[in-house]
């Protein structure tokens, strides 16, 4: 049996980035394949683009720290990949590759961005990893002559419920960009010809809002599984979301954060833009002395765990995590009360979203099953 581990958003931003992985390094290094999502740029040069919202230029040493922690594949497909322009974009990729980490979901053009990373596990199973982003500042996606990430854009329609009542809340509908969806399906089918297992990473969803899954996410998940994906690894929401099994294949709608440093200053905390986003979360109080300025629910996180046998995913599950004010993720032991807190939260948000996953404690991890 082989084991694949996957984590959510990674953005180390401290003098000694290895500290971020002090409590998880041993577990990551024991896995046969480790995946994560990068939310920063490892570069010394770059010019911040005007459409970048929260942008941090992180020291290149962070890339080497990821390599030492045990990461094998990193997705850079997300809403921060081009925050600091093309120079920082390519420098980040270069630093990751020097650390023997394969980078997926980005490239100098759309063909490169859509190219899978191929890996072979010790058991002989071939794994293909693809990555896409639906969270896209203008021009962050690659095209035939422009670098960027592989897009899976989505459209939104606001339907007024009471047409004779101005200002009343609308219904919100979203659906995937038709051409991007078809491209993803083609990529998955092609990858399935080269690999036994296809992992699809998606930077997507509604950040900070408890449980909610956007319509387009469900459309994309169904299409990806139908095309041949064996697991979907979701991130961006910065809180945990529920899990769904589609034809027995796990869809992790949000893995929350992993090693994600985020400072807060009084000026930003008082800004109109932050206060608007702050209302999305259930409980979010800025802490100017903390390295982890996220809603209280973001303390709960996970490492997705996939057991591989006979060229298939034999069991999907996760390792519950807790992230304190130092922004260091720590794996919870089953006898820790916070272990049950994470599992109970996952049961609650899964049920609230109408998803079908069930959770069973299986030793040090949680196994995922289906209620239907």
209-227 mean pLDDT? 98
φ and ψ at 183, to 5 degrees?
Answer: -65, -45
* pLDDT at res. 297: 97
The pLDDT tens digits for 257-315 are 999 999 998 988 999 989 999 999 989 999 999 999 999 999 999 999 999 999 999 99
Closest CA to 78 of 239, 216, 238: 238
91-107 mean pLDDT? 98
The pLDDT tens digits for 110-133 are 999 999 999 999 999 999 999 999
Q: Tokens standing for 119? A: 């890996």
Among 21-35, 43-57, 218-232, the least confident range? 43-57
Q: Nearest 5 degrees, angle CA 365-CA 366-CA 371? A: 165
* pLDDT at res. 273: 87
* pLDDT at res. 371: 84
Indicate the average pLDDT of the chain: 97
Report CA-CA distances (Å) from 62 to 32, 58, 225, 363. 22, 7, 34, 33
Between 282 and 369, the more confident residue is 369
Q: Tokens standing for 248? A: 């027995």
Q: Is the dihedral of CA 55, 293, 296, 270 positive or negative?
A: negative
Is residue 372 predicted with pLDDT exceeding 90?
no
Is residue 53 predicted with pLDDT exceeding 90?
no
114 in Cβ contact with 130 (< 8 Å):
yes
Is residue 155 predicted with pLDDT exceeding 80?
yes
23-41 mean pLDDT? 98
* pLDDT at res. 268: 87
Q: Can you give the pTM of this predicted structure?
A: 0.97
φ and ψ at 301, to 5 degrees?
Answer: -150, -170
């Amino acid at each position: 049996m082989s084991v694949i581990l996957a984590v959510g958003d990674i953005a180390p931003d401290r003098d000694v980035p290895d500290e971020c992985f002090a409590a998880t390094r041993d577990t990551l290094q024991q896995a046969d394949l480790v995946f994560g999502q990068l939310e920063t740029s490892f570069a010394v040069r770059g010019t911040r683009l005007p459409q970048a919202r929260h942008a941090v230029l992180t020291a290149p040493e962070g890339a080497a720290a990821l390599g030492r922690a045990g990461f094998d594949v990193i997705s850079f497909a997300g809403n921060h990949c081009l925050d600091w322009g093309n120079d920082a974009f390519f420098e980040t990729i270069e630093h990751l590759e020097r650390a023997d980490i394969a980078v997926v979901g980005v490239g100098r053009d759309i063909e490169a961005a859509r190219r899978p990373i191929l890996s072979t596990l010790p058991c002989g199973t071939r794994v293909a990893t693809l990555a896409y982003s639906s969270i896209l500042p203008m021009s962050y996606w690659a095209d035939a002559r422009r670098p960027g990430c592989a897009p899976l854009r989505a459209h939104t329609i606001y339907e007024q419920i009471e047409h004779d009542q101005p200002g009343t809340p609308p219904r919100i509908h979203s659906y995937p960009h038709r051409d991007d969806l078809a491209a993803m399906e083609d990529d998955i089918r092609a990858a399935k010809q080269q690999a036994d297992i296809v992992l699809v990473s998606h930077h997507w969803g509604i950040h900070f809002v408890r449980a909610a899954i956007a319509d387009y996410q469900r459309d994309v998940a169904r299409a990806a599984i139908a095309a041949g994906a064996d697991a979907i690894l979701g991130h961006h929401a910065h809180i945990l979301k529920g899990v769904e099994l589609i034809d027995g294949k796990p869809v992790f709608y949000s893995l929350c954060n992993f090693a994600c440093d985020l400072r807060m200053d009084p000026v930003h905390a008082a800004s109109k833009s932050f206060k608007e986003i702050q209302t999305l979360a259930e409980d979010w109080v800025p802490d100017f002395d903390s390295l982890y300025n996220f809603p209280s629910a973001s303390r709960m996180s996970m490492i997705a765990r996939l057991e591989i046998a006979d060229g298939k995913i034999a069991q999907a599950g996760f390792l519950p995590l807790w992230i304190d004010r130092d922004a260091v993720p720590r794996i919870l032991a089953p006898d820790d009360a916070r272990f049950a807190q994470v599992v109970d939260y996952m049961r609650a948000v899964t049920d609230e979203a109408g998803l079908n996953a069930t959770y069973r404690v299986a030793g040090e991890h949680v196994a995922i099953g289906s209620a239907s």
